[in-house]
Structure 1
Amino acid sequence: MSAVLECRDVRKEFRGNVVLRDLSLDVAEHEVVVLIGASGSGKSTLLRCVNLLETLDDGSIHLDGEHITDPKTNPDLVRRRIGMVFQSFNLFPHLSVLDNVTLAPIRVHGLSTAAAEARALELLERVGLADKAREFPDRLSGGQQQRVAIVRSLVNSPRLMLLDEVTSALDPELVGEVLSLVRDLKGDGMTMLIATHEMGFARQVADRICFLEQGAILEQGPPEQVLGDPQQPRTRQFLQRIIEAGRL
């Protein structure tokens, strides 16, 4: 399979602190790659670099072969092909669910209101939220708001989805409904790069798990290998702490 995403020797520093350390990673078409690691290991920063929310200090990132971190690249055009969902829902509180979802298709992609709403309602129906289309975000549960945020990213038919700790802001009983939606996206063949602390979720959806440590990929492989038989002592130590916390 061809690589949708290619990261080559990516380096990122913040005020002299190296957050990504010459990291290289490919994500093939239809592949789901899950990033795990302690807080501060570079997972979220990598996603932000891929979505051009941060500039690289060295290295390059390619989307379908296009060098998107070239300074001449228009970030807005690149982001049309990438969907990103954050741990905070980032919905506009003054807009209805439907208006949140259709804003970009109408304003950025030039779709007619009728076409954008038809597509949005189709996706909201799929995730069980069609009846909430006219509600405002504060009338929804956290899990419902996060599903709306995912739909908002899906409505533009992205080439790549980036999910950054999408369950960390949710109450435990609401996590399942969001994870179920992500499993459905995997079933559809969506190419995804996901950062998560949910090891059970990682085991279920990942084709490959990458364990990040101090901004580099220390170990990677199929879920059963990385989570069940890790080769690196640091990976084993990290997973043991997760087990002790009851999260694996």
Structure 2
Amino acid sequence: MDVLRCRGLRKEFGGQAVLDSLDLTVAEHQVVALIGASGSGKSTLLRCVNLLEELHDGTIELDGEEISAPGVDPDKVRRRIGMVFQAYNLFPHLSVLDNVTLAPRRVHRRARVEAEAHARELLDRMGLGAKADAFPDRLSGGQQQRVAIVRALANSPRLLLLDEVTSALDPELVGEVLTMIRDLKADGLTMVLATHEMSFARDVADQVCFLDGGRVLEAGPPQQVLGQPTRPRTQQFLSRIIEAGRL
């Protein structure tokens, strides 16, 4: 079953297309990595899927239901989609446990005892159990980003969107976040991630999509797109990545 289907997506800013007739399909349990230069449309695509941006054209389906149709309640859709941003976006005045349980209690109306039990289980599993009562400013950047991912998981999302979740981290902290994402893949969670970590995309993704000019210019298994790209623009992009020592 396809969890996500995007057809003919078009999004403009200031009259300029950031997404231009973009198509994307994500099957259940699949991990899709979006790669491409800055400005290619990766983050905009994720924000459109989570209904944080309004489309100018095209359709988005989640489990066969069109979520981009007029009149759809975006808050109800977002209960089924988890999203983690480049910045951690944790509430500094709340403990880790309160950050993780806020949405389950306020949005999903779960009892505090139930929400906290589930949150502690997730935190323990992700190696953060000892940090449940800590505040975000007492955590490293890697720990804060992992808490942000746990917060997204607390709502048991059907689809998890990850937008350059390692870009704000020091290189030595990147590994712990990537390990966590590998564990989620092993669990069968369906994910779409925008990343500049080419080696990670090669190792963890089932499909890599190269975006250019707001379109998916080339898509396929990592070994094909990253190892033997067929489009000249993909080849040019990856050659620069290789020269920079990032692949």
- After TM superposition, the runs of 4+ consecutive aligned structure 1 residues lying more than 3 A away are none
1:208 maps to: 207
Tell me what 1:8 maps to.
7
Give the letter aligned to residue 20 of structure 2: R
**Residue aligning to 1:107:** 106
SS in structure 1 opposite 2:113? helix
Q: Once the two structures are superposed, what CA deviation does each residue of 1:175-229 show, in whole Å capped at 9, x if it has no partner?
A: 0000000000000000001100000110111000000000001101100001111
Match of 2:125 in 1: 126
> In structure 1, how many angstroms separate the alpha carbons of the residues matched to 2:12 and 2:215?
13
Question: C-alpha root-mean-square deviation of aligned residues, in Å?
Answer: 0.5
CA distance in structure 1 between the partners assigned to 2:137 and 2:245 by the alignment? 31
Unaligned 5+ runs, structure 2: none
Q: 1:2-59: CA deviations, max 9, x gaps?
A: 1100001000000111000001111000011110000000000000000000000000
Partner-residue secondary structure (3-state), 1:52: coil
- TM superposition shift of 1:244: 1.2
Residue of structure 1 in register with 2:144 after alignment: 145
Aligned to 1:230: 229
Q: CA deviation at 1:246?
A: 1.2
| Superposed counterparts of 1:59-74, under 5 Å | 59-74=58-73
**One-letter amino acid of the structure 1 residue matched with residue 140 of structure 2:** S
State the distance in 2 between where 1:12 and 1:50 align: 12
Q: In structure 2, how many angstroms separate the alpha carbons of the residues matched to 1:222 and 1:65? A: 24
Q: CA deviation at 1:128?
A: 0.6
Letter paired with 1:89? Y
Unaligned segments of structure 1, at least 5 residues? none
Q: Matched residues in 2 for 1:247 and 1:236: separation?
A: 14
Distance in 2, Cα, partners of 1:129 & 1:33: 26
Return the letter of the residue paired with 1:140.
L
Task: Give the Å deviation of 1:237.
Answer: 0.7
CA shift, 1:245, in A, is: 1.1
Residue 24 (str. 1) matches residue 23 (str. 2): yes
Amino acid at match of 1:25: L
Tell me the distance in 1 between the aligned counterparts of 2:28 and 2:70. 25
C-alpha distance in structure 1 between counterparts of 2:240 and 2:29, whole Å: 31
Q: How does 1:45-124 map to 2 (within 5 A)?
A: 45-124=44-123
TM-score by structure 2 length? 0.99
Distance in 1, matches of 2:87 and 2:150, equals 15
1:157 CA displacement: 0.5
1:41 aligns to 2:40 (yes or no): yes
Q: 1:71 Cα deviation (Å)?
A: 1.6
Equivalent pairs counted in the alignment come to 247
Identical-pair percentage: 73
Match for 2:11: what amino acid?
K
In structure 2, the partner of 1:169 is 168
User: Structure 2 CA distance, aligned partners of 1:13 and 1:50?
Assistant: 15
Letter matched to residue 194 of structure 1: L
In 2, Cα distance between the equivalents of 1:114 and 1:5? 33
Q: Secondary structure at the match of 1:228?
A: coil
CA offsets per residue over residues 161-186 of structure 1, 9 Å max, x none? 00000000000000000000000000
**SS of alignment partner, residue 82 of structure 2:** strand
CA offsets 1:46-95 (integer angstroms, 9 cap, x no match): 00000000000000100011110112100000000000000100000000
The one-letter amino acid of 2:244's match is A
- Cα deviation per residue 1:112-163 (whole Å; 9 max; x = unaligned)? 0000000000000011111000000000000000000000000111000000
